[in-house]
Structure 1
Amino acid sequence: MTTGGWLTMIFSVGFVTVLFVYCVWRVLTGHQPDHDLGHIEPVHDDQVDER
């Protein structure tokens, strides 16, 4: 391969690797919510027509 080919390959692979590591880092160290996941409240028989 030529020098330009090597530089292009190193830059491309390096950029994708750095982007992948950055994304994984953001997911693993991201903000943790203070609450649990939302839920759906059950519908009572007398409220069926209202919803």
Structure 2
Amino acid sequence: MTIGGWIIMTASLVFVTAFFAGSLYLVLRRRPDVEHLHSTFDETPDMEEEKD
């Protein structure tokens, strides 16, 4: 393999590894927000029945 091939292969491996590590960091450092979790069973305000 030529020097250019080694440079391109090394650069692409570094980019993919850095992107993967950065993605893992962003996903794992975040704490889940319970307030933002919604279910399909949640009722929206317009679904509430009027109480007389």
TM-score, structure 2 normalization: 0.65
In structure 1, stretches of 5+ residues that fail to align are none
Q: 1:41 to 1:7 in 2, by over 3 A?
A: closer
In structure 2, stretches of 5+ residues that fail to align are 44-48
TM-score, structure 1 normalization: 0.66
Q: 1:31 to 1:8 in 2, by over 3 A?
A: same
Map of 1:28 onto structure 2:
28
Higher helix share: 2
> Identity rate of aligned residues, in percent?
33
